[in-house]
């Protein structure tokens, strides 16, 4: 254990060294003298000197002695002739009951219950404090002022002890958190209702609760020079591909930024092609979904303060799947996936088709329909493109307003949008009734996407397609779709082709988990594109049915049918 | 194919190597492309009643032209025709031969580009100037190829399923309108019409042979080259034969000659149960995709041969260089009539002789220089390097 015992150093020497910062853990002084480059070396760290007054004053200097939410509680453990100590913590971030009962009560009151002979042979204060007194589960030692400050800001309570060049950090985190609730963005009919909250440890526990494998690894990172946000990388050792793990770790370590406030920050720093409108990192609020992905050999990233977990690698196919797809029966799922596929085409192309057909190709429509549209459009002041753009913009504005406004008002905005603006605009002769139907259908289709990230991308792409349709009709749409396809083919998520399993094609994957969803007992292998180290997830012959026993059929009571 | 081969170890992935299935789909871009639009009219007018026999017969006969391609690809794995022709014939003559191949493919690219533009204009947008289609298609082609051959292969994988689906739909939907009298009797004029039709299709085979000699260098597994090439060729032949059969069965040989694009006319008349009508817009939309993929294949062949002949020119630069004459060639064609007159001349009297001469010359010289023996140092070394 480093730096735990007091060494005979002269007080004046110590003060000089500490204040001048000459003595440091990393040799930063030398580096500074050598004119090391800024940002490439670790910042100099100040060690604890083992004199409570000096160490505490250094901590106060850094954190601010008059900062109202930081508590410096000095006391003498073991009576008047005992050891001076101080516990430092942020009010509101710690569990005060744990501090009072686990630290202060034991060090001030219970310490007297230990007979003096019990301390024989344990002269070092940290030994008897840690082993005999502190009633706290998570305890560790740190040796620098910087680590003490990091611990305080992370919600722990370090105890500075006079005579010790190490501080005892007690894990007493305890701030008010949101309770576990059903995720708003991924509601399902059948399946668990639990969703992630904003606390990292709660979220990792939700994953652990479902995945009781000793191979589950939770690697921790602190990202953000100022926010020092805890970020956890989750994967199953021996299952996830080492290269993808290495790539994920290196991308996380490469993030040098002042603050990380949400998983969305991390996503934007680790994705492969930042200028693409399509998401390349999956995002979910559901622990069951994260576990499902981990079992496939993928990785998850959980960020403290965010209820969303990121999933890597994520292909386009994964954005079209709902967690419910695996809880329901295959035929139902296949039907729902077909519906989603049709909805996605509708969400992308309906307004563009309207613009193209009404502007350039009315002859393509059956005559009665063409006449009906022509009658509906008669006297309308705007061309179809402007008309469609206007209505789409109105819809997007209503949607944005609905999100921002408090819920009761949000509903009111919906009613205003649907009845007043919709009907009134038709009655006023601004837009045709067919367009209103098309915009509504498009909106409904957008909500059919299981992933709001993909739904947002489709919303964005719809507008350039409308423009192309307005410029050159169906040719423009086809041109845009080819361009879009080429763009999608260029995308990769952590090296995995985005359009897998369609291109590069994998017949097995297509027939297993795309539009077609094989029965769970038929999905024997994990997705090979993420290169799982253990590709087989279940043994052969898992098809349910009456089990054969010694070649004989058995009936319900387990007896032979013979 | 294992997963390892699909996913590159680097996050960017391989930009040039493709799998065998991707190879088949890429080969469709030349063998199907927009050929079904012109082949039905051309072969129909030459072979008459035997047109639907001429297409599969020609595909089977012309398989022989692919033999030298597969032979050289297995002897020089990982190399394209522009590279191994220099090894076989020497630097100067190898380059000369490559330039000849590049020139004929460039001419074909110009005509196919114009044909796609004309087809779209005639089908749905007659008032739009042709240069608009030419420029926009060129932009799309260059954007695709700038992203690498592997991306193009994957685009083919996805988009060709749509094209093939639309063609099969066309065939199935037109079955009810087929009149068997339009397919019989055959050979009442002797064998000549059939042979002349086969000769016309042979021009397509020559194009495919040149294209295959280029893409063979991109296949990950050199051992699958022959199987991949043959699969692409024969499946395309089967599909084109079916379309020919459907078109001739519905319209008959006399009417086929009158149409500019018989498949388009077929698309206009199909209906399903009296409900789905006027589907030609959707079918034509899928055919424009085929046109784009075909133009891209020609472009790639031309540009990559240029980089093989002039190694100092980078691929993006060569793309820009070849796009100028291709655009000019496409734009200078007067009208659709002239275009249809140029197509047979180009394929039968230019591409076919050049391809036969090139491969004949290569195989003769390679044989004389002992380069066709199994396990020659150059081929073996390359193979080991690949493995």
pLDDT at A123: 54
Sequence-ordered list of residues with C-beta below 8 angstroms from that of A457, at least 6 positions apart, any chain: A277, A278, A279
Asked if A505 and B140 come within 8 Å (Cβ–Cβ), the reply is no
ipTM: 0.88
pLDDT band at B200 (very low <50, low <70, confident <90, very high): confident
Residue among A144, A309, A302, A157 nearest A223 (CA): A302
**Across the interface, which of B10, B120, B277 has its CB nearest the CB of A495?**
B10
Asked if B151 and A528 come within 8 Å (Cβ–Cβ), the reply is no
CA distance to partner chain A, nearest, from residue B364 (Å): 38
| Number of structural domains chain A divides into | 3
- Minimal Cα distance from A243: which residue of B? B9
**Across the interface, which of A366, A483, A492 has its CB nearest the CB of B11?**
A492
Residue A368 inside a domain? The answer is: yes
- Minimal Cα distance from B151: which residue of A? A489
> Distance between CA A548 and CA A552 in Å, rounded?
6
Q: What is the arithmetic mean of pLDDT over A117-122?
A: 57
* DSSP 8-state symbol, A497: E
> Distance between CA B381 and CA B371 in Å, rounded?
13
pLDDT band at A42 (very low <50, low <70, confident <90, very high): low
**Across the interface, which of B12, B124, B140 has its CB nearest the CB of A479?**
B140
Any idea which of A206-210, A309-313, A350-354, B343-347 has the lowest mean pLDDT? Answer: B343-347
B197, HSE (Cβ side, Cα atoms, 13 Å): 31
> Distance between CA A375 and CA B215 in Å, rounded?
54
Query: What region, left, alpha or beta, does residue B255 occupy, with left being phi > 0 and alpha being psi -120 to 50 degrees?
Result: alpha
pLDDT band at A556 (very low <50, low <70, confident <90, very high): very low
Asked if B151 and A486 come within 8 Å (Cβ–Cβ), the reply is yes
**Across the interface, which of B9, B147, B154 has its CB nearest the CB of A243?**
B9
Calculate the alpha carbon distances from B65 to B26, B205, B345 in Å.
19, 7, 20
> Distance between CA B239 and CA B31 in Å, rounded?
10
Q: What is the arithmetic mean of pLDDT over B142-166?
A: 91
pLDDT one-digit tens code per residue, A480-492: 999 999 999 999 9
CA distance to partner chain B, nearest, from residue A217 (Å): 23
Which residue would you say has higher pLDDT here, A28 or A268? A268
Q: What is the arithmetic mean of pLDDT over A322-345?
A: 92
pLDDT at B305: 93
Asked if B154 and A473 come within 8 Å (Cβ–Cβ), the reply is no
| One domain, residues A358 and A491 | yes
Mutual angle of helices A263-270 and A242-253, in 10-degree steps: 110
Percent of chain B as helix, strand, coil, to the nearest 5: 80, 0, 20
Q: What is the arithmetic mean of pLDDT over A189-208?
A: 91
pLDDT at A270: 95
pLDDT band at B385 (very low <50, low <70, confident <90, very high): low
Calculate the alpha carbon distances from A550 to A6, A544, A555 in Å.
74, 17, 14
> Which residues on chain A are in Cβ contact (under 8 Å) with B10?
495
* Mean pLDDT, chain A, integer: 84
Asked if A504 and B120 come within 8 Å (Cβ–Cβ), the reply is no
| One domain, residues A230 and A291 | yes
pLDDT at B75: 84
Q: What is the arithmetic mean of pLDDT over A499-511?
A: 88
B136 touches chain A (CB under 8 A): yes
Residue numbers of B between 21 and 50 with CB closer than 8 Å to A: 21-22
Asked if B158 and A502 come within 8 Å (Cβ–Cβ), the reply is yes
B6 touches chain A (CB under 8 A): yes
pLDDT band at B138 (very low <50, low <70, confident <90, very high): very high
Length of chain A measured in residues: 562
Residue numbers of B between 278 and 297 with CB closer than 8 Å to A: 278, 280-281, 284-285, 288-289, 292
pLDDT at B8: 43
pLDDT at B377: 45
A536 touches chain B (CB under 8 A): no
Mutual angle of helices B262-269 and B225-258, in 10-degree steps: 70
Residue B338 inside a domain? The answer is: yes
- How many Å from the N-terminal Cα to the C-terminal Cα in chain A? 71
Q: What is the arithmetic mean of pLDDT over A402-421?
A: 74
> Distance between CA B298 and CA B294 in Å, rounded?
6
Q: pLDDT above 70 covers what percent of chain B?
A: 91
Asked if B285 and A483 come within 8 Å (Cβ–Cβ), the reply is no
pLDDT at B186: 76
| One domain, residues A101 and A146 | yes
Residue A555 inside a domain? The answer is: no
pLDDT band at B273 (very low <50, low <70, confident <90, very high): low
- For the ranges A402-406, B36-40, B162-166, the maximum mean pLDDT occurs at B162-166
pLDDT at A129 exceeding the cut of 80:
no
Q: How many helices (H) and strands (E) does chain B have?
A: 17, 0
- For the ranges A532-546, B271-285, B312-326, the maximum mean pLDDT occurs at B312-326
CB A109 within 8 A of CB A101: no
**Across the interface, which of A478, A483, A506 has its CB nearest the CB of B143?**
A483
Residue A535 inside a domain? The answer is: no
- The residue segments making up the domain with residue A417 are 330-497
Residue B235 inside a domain? The answer is: yes
Which tokens is B147 given? 């992203």
Total CB pairs under 8 A between chain A and B: 106
Q: What is the arithmetic mean of pLDDT over A46-62?
A: 90
pLDDT one-digit tens code per residue, B74-84: 888 888 898 99
- Minimal Cα distance from A528: which residue of B? B3
| One domain, residues A224 and A165 | no
| One domain, residues A150 and A234 | no
Q: What is the arithmetic mean of pLDDT over B36-61?
A: 86
pLDDT at B14: 60
- Residue A75 backbone phi and psi in degrees, to 5: -160, 170
Residue A424 inside a domain? The answer is: yes
Residue A438 inside a domain? The answer is: yes
> Which residues on chain B are in Cβ contact (under 8 Å) with A474?
124, 281, 284-285
| One domain, residues A343 and A440 | yes
CB A86 within 8 A of CB A74: yes
Which residue would you say has higher pLDDT here, A221 or B372? A221
A529 touches chain B (CB under 8 A): yes
Residue A261 inside a domain? The answer is: yes
Residue B150 inside a domain? The answer is: yes
Residue among B221, B220, B243, B176 nearest B34 (CA): B243
> Which residues on chain A are in Cβ contact (under 8 Å) with B118?
none
> Distance between CA A88 and CA A91 in Å, rounded?
9
| One domain, residues A204 and A335 | no
Residue A137 inside a domain? The answer is: yes
pLDDT band at B268 (very low <50, low <70, confident <90, very high): confident
The pTM is what?
A: 0.84
Q: What is the arithmetic mean of pLDDT over B187-210?
A: 85
Please report, for the domain that includes residue B98, its CATH number: 1.20.1740.10
| One domain, residues A294 and A343 | no
> Distance between CA A210 and CA A291 in Å, rounded?
7
| One domain, residues A100 and A34 | yes
| One domain, residues A154 and A278 | no
- For the ranges A39-43, B208-212, B268-272, the maximum mean pLDDT occurs at B208-212
pLDDT band at B6 (very low <50, low <70, confident <90, very high): very low
pLDDT at A483: 96
Q: What is the arithmetic mean of pLDDT over B222-229?
A: 79
Q: What is the arithmetic mean of pLDDT over A121-144?
A: 75
* Mean pLDDT, chain B, integer: 84
Residue B38 inside a domain? The answer is: yes
Which residue would you say has higher pLDDT here, A410 or B152? B152
**Across the interface, which of B3, B19, B132 has its CB nearest the CB of A529?**
B3
Residue B11 inside a domain? The answer is: no
pLDDT at A121: 55
- For the ranges A277-286, A504-513, B240-249, B333-342, the maximum mean pLDDT occurs at A277-286
pLDDT one-digit tens code per residue, B90-137: 989 999 999 999 999 999 999 999 988 988 888 778 888 999 999 999
Residue A141 inside a domain? The answer is: yes
Q: What is the arithmetic mean of pLDDT over B37-45?
A: 83
Cis peptide before A329, with omega less than 30 degrees from 0?
Answer: no
pLDDT at B2: 36
Give the gyration radius of chain A's Cα atoms: 32
Any idea which of A476-485, B151-160, B218-227 has the lowest mean pLDDT? Answer: B218-227
| One domain, residues A296 and A349 | no
Which residue would you say has higher pLDDT here, A133 or B143? B143
pLDDT band at B375 (very low <50, low <70, confident <90, very high): low
- The residue segments making up the domain with residue B117 are 16-386
pLDDT at A557 exceeding the cut of 60:
no
Sequence-ordered list of residues with C-beta below 8 angstroms from that of B125, at least 6 positions apart, any chain: A360, A472, A473, A475
| One domain, residues A335 and A482 | yes
Instruction: Give how far the C-alpha of residue B117 lies from the chain's centroid of Cα atoms, to the nearest Å.
Output: 17
pLDDT at A558: 46
B226 touches chain A (CB under 8 A): no
Residue B182 inside a domain? The answer is: yes
CA distance to partner chain B, nearest, from residue A346 (Å): 15
Any idea which of A214-228, A523-537, B11-25, B42-56 has the lowest mean pLDDT? Answer: B11-25
Query: What region, left, alpha or beta, does residue A283 occupy, with left being phi > 0 and alpha being psi -120 to 50 degrees?
Result: beta
């Amino acid at each position: 254990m480093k730096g735990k015992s007091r060494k005979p150093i002269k007080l004046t020497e110590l003060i000089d060294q500490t204040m001048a910062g000459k003595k440091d853990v990393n040799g930063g002084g030398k580096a500074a003298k050598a004119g090391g480059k800024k940002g490439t070396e670790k910042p100099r760290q100040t060690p604890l000197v083992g004199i409570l007054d000096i160490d505490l004053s250094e901590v106060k200097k850094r954190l601010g002695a008059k900062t109202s939410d930081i508590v410096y509680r000095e006391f003498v453990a073991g009576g008047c002739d005992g050891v001076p100590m101080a516990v430092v913590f942020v009010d509101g971030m710690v569990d005060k009951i744990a501090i009072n009962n686990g630290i202060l009560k034991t060090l001030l009151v219970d310490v007297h219950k230990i007979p003096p002979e019990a301390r024989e042979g344990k002269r070092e204060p940290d030994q008897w404090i840690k082993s005999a007194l502190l009633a706290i589960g998570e305890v560790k030692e740190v040796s620098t002022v910087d680590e003490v400050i990091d611990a305080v800001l992370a919600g722990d309570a370090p105890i500075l002890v006079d005579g010790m060049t190490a501080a005892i950090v007690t894990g007493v985190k305890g701030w008010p958190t949101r309770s576990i609730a059903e995720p708003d963005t991924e509601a399902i009919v059948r399946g668990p209702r639990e969703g992630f909250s904003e606390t990292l440890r709660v979220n990792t526990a939700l994953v652990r609760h479902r995945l009781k494998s000793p191979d589950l690894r939770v690697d921790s990172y602190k990202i953000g020079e100022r926010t020092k946000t805890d970020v956890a990388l989750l994967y199953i050792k021996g299952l996830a591909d080492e290269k993808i793990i290495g790539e994920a770790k290196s991308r996380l370590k490469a993030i040098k930024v002042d603050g990380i406030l949400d998983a969305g920050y991390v996503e934007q720093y680790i994705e492969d092609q930042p200028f693409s409108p399509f998401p390349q990192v999956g995002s979910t609020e559901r622990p069951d979904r994260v576990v499902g992905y981990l079992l496939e050999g993928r990785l998850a990233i959980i960020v403290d303060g965010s209820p969303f977990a990121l999933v890597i690698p994520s292909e386009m196919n994964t954005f079209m799947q709902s967690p419910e797809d695996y809880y329901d029966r295959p035929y139902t799922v296949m039907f729902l996936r077909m519906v989603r596929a049709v909805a996605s085409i509708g969400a992308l192309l309906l307004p563009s088709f309207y613009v193209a057909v009404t502007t350039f190709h009315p002859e393509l429509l059956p005559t009665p329909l063409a006449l009906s549209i022509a009658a509906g459009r008669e006297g309308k002041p705007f061309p179809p493109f402007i008309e469609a753009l206007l209505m789409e913009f109105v819809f997007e504005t209503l949607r944005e307003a609905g999100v921002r406004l408090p819920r009761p008002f949000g509903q009111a905005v919906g009613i205003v949008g649907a009845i007043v603006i919709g009907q009134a605009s038709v009655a006023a002769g601004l837009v045709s009734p067919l367009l209103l139907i098309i915009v509504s259908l498009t909106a409904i289709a957008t909500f059919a996407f299981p992933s709001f990230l993909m739904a947002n991308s489709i919303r964005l792409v719809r507008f350039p397609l409308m423009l192309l349709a307005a410029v050159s009709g169906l040719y423009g749409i086809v041109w845009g779709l080819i361009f879009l396809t080429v763009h999608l083919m260029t995308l990769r998520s952590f090296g995995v082709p985005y359009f897998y399993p369609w291109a590069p094609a994998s017949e097995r994957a297509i027939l297993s988990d795309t539009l077609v969803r094989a029965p769970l007992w038929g999905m024997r292998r994990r997705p090979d594109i993420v290169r799982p180290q253990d590709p087989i997830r279940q043994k052969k012959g898992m098809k349910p049915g009456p089990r054969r026993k010694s070649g004989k059929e058995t009936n319900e009571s387990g007896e032979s049918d013979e | 194919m294992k997963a390892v081969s699909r996913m590159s170890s680097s996050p960017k992935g391989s930009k040039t190597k493709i799998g065998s299935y991707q190879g088949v789909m890429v080969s469709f871009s030349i063998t199907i492309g927009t050929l079904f639009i012109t082949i039905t009219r051309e072969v129909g007018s030459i072979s008459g009643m035997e047109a639907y026999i001429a297409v599969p017969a020609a595909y089977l006969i012309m398989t022989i032209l692919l033999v030298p391609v597969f032979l050289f690809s297995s002897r020089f794995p990982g190399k394209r025709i522009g590279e191994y022709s220099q090894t076989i014939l020497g630097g100067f003559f190898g380059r000369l031969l490559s330039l000849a191949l590049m020139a004929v493919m460039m001419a074909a690219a110009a005509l196919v580009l114009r044909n796609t533009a004309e087809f779209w204009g005639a089908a749905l947008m007659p008032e739009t100037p042709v240069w608009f289609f030419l420029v926009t298609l060129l932009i799309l082609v260059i954007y695709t190829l700038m992203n690498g051959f592997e991306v193009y292969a994957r685009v083919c994988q996805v988009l060709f399923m749509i094209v093939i689906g639309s063609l099969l739909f066309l065939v199935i939907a037109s079955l009810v309108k087929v009149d068997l009298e339009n397919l019989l009797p055959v050979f009442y004029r002797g064998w000549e019409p059939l042979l002349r039709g086969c000769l016309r299709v042979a021009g397509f085979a020559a194009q495919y042979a040149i294209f295959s000699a280029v893409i063979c260098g991109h296949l990950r597994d050199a051992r699958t080259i022959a199987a991949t090439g043959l699969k692409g060729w024969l499946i395309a032949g089967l599909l084109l034969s079916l379309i020919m059969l459907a078109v001739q069965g519905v319209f008959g040989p006399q009417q086929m000659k009158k149409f500019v694009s018989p498949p388009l006319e077929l698309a206009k008349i199909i209906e399903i149960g009296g409900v789905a009508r006027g589907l030609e817009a959707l079918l034509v939309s899928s055919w424009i995709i085929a046109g784009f993929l075909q133009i891209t294949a020609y472009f790639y062949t031309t540009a990559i041969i240029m980089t093989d002949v002039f190694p100092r020119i980078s691929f993006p630069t060569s793309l820009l260089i070849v796009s100028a004459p291709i655009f000019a060639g496409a734009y200078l064609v007067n009208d659709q009539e002239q275009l249809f007159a140029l197509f047979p001349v180009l394929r039968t009297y230019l591409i076919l002789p050049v391809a036969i001469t090139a491969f004949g010359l290569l195989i003769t010289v390679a044989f004389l220089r002992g380069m066709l023996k199994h396990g020659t140092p150059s081929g073996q070394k390359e193979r080991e390097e690949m493995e």
